[in-house]
């Protein structure tokens, strides 16, 4: 599995390095702050690029011929993206250490949820462009519901329950939410990939 994670890194490290250098330049020079949506755009671009490269070069046909289960193939992709975006976020945080620990934990949970939402889409949809559009729309809608859902009484019980748990045990609640969402997403992706014809 780790060989596949390394393969993904070798194929995508140039994009990751370029983005990291751009963030460093923005931090050093007095440029306007980067809006949060920029980071999500990077996430969408990297996800799309990883799956686009696989499909363009018919990598999956080669991979499934190896003595690896499809579940391991899917797991390697989850591990790669999780590591990249966790390290990417830690890098951004090191550049700007003004964020409190609670916000850091919430953003980490948001990263896990974004991965959990996004990856099954790319395994389900054959067109990487369509998958990227669906991913962007789902992440946008999810963000809007989270930000503005509190203004609607329909979502009150969910908000009260969720934030009640966070007040009682914030670290455990958010880490558990991250873990459960990734596990559910992984199972869904494995099911889709197992049923899919590789062309």
Place of tokens 């976020």: 89
Q: What is the mean pLDDT of residues 174-190?
A: 92
CA distances from 81 to 35, 42, 49, 88, 197 (A): 22, 12, 12, 10, 24
Residue 190: pLDDT band with limits 50, 70, 90: very high
Place of tokens 């934030």: 163
Report the pLDDT value the prediction gives residue 109, as an integer from 0 to 100. 84
Confidence (pTM): 0.79
The more confident residue out of 30 and 175 is: 175
Report the pLDDT value the prediction gives residue 4, as an integer from 0 to 100. 82
Cα–Cα distance, 195 to 199 (Å, whole number): 13
Place of tokens 């729309």: 137
pLDDT tens digits, 104-149: 777 788 888 888 988 999 899 888 788 888 888 887 777 676 666 5
Residue 40: pLDDT band with limits 50, 70, 90: low
Instruction: Say yes or no to pLDDT of 150 above 60.
Output: no
51's enclosing H/E stretch is: helix 36-56
> Domain count of the chain?
1
In 3-state terms, what secondary structure has residue 33? coil
Cα–Cα distance, 128 to 122 (Å, whole number): 7
Is 84:196 a contact under the CB 8 Å cutoff?
A: no
Cα–Cα distance, 71 to 149 (Å, whole number): 36
pLDDT tens digits, 81-97: 899 888 887 887 787 66
Separate counts of helices (H) and strands (E) for the chain: 8, 0
Nearest residue to 80 (alpha-carbon basis) of 5, 165, 173: 5
Report the pLDDT value the prediction gives residue 188, as an integer from 0 to 100. 96
- Looking at the chain, the whole-number percentage of residues with pLDDT higher than 90 is 13
Instruction: Say yes or no to pLDDT of 155 above 60.
Output: no
Report the pLDDT value the prediction gives residue 196, as an integer from 0 to 100. 78
Q: Is 171 exposed, middle or buried (0-12, 13-18, 19+ CB in 10 A)?
A: exposed
What domain range includes position 118?
Answer: 2-195
Cα–Cα distance, 85 to 49 (Å, whole number): 15
Report the pLDDT value the prediction gives residue 93, as an integer from 0 to 100. 77
């Amino acid at each position: 599995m780790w060989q596949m994670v390394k393969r993904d890194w070798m194929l995508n490290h140039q994009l990751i390095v370029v983005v990291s250098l751009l963030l460093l330049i923005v931090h050093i020079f007095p440029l306007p702050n980067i809006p949060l949506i920029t980071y999500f755009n990077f996430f969408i671009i990297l996800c799309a690029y990883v799956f686009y490269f696989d499909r363009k070069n018919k990598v999956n046909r080669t991979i499934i011929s190896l003595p690896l289960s499809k579940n391991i193939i899917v797991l390697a992709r989850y591990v790669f993206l999780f590591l990249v975006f966790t390290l990417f976020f830690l890098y951004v945080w090191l550049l700007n250490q003004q964020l409190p620990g609670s916000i850091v934990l919430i953003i980490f949970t948001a990263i896990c949820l974004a991965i959990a939402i996004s990856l099954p889409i790319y395994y389900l949809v054959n067109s990487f462009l369509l998958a990227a559009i669906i991913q962007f729309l789902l992440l946008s809608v999810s963000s809007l519901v989270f930000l503005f859902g509190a203004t609607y009484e329909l979502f009150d019980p969910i908000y009260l329950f969720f934030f009640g748990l966070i007040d009682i045990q914030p670290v455990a609640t958010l880490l558990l939410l991250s873990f459960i969402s990734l596990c559910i997403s992984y199972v869904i992706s494995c099911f889709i990939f197992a049923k899919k014809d590789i062309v």
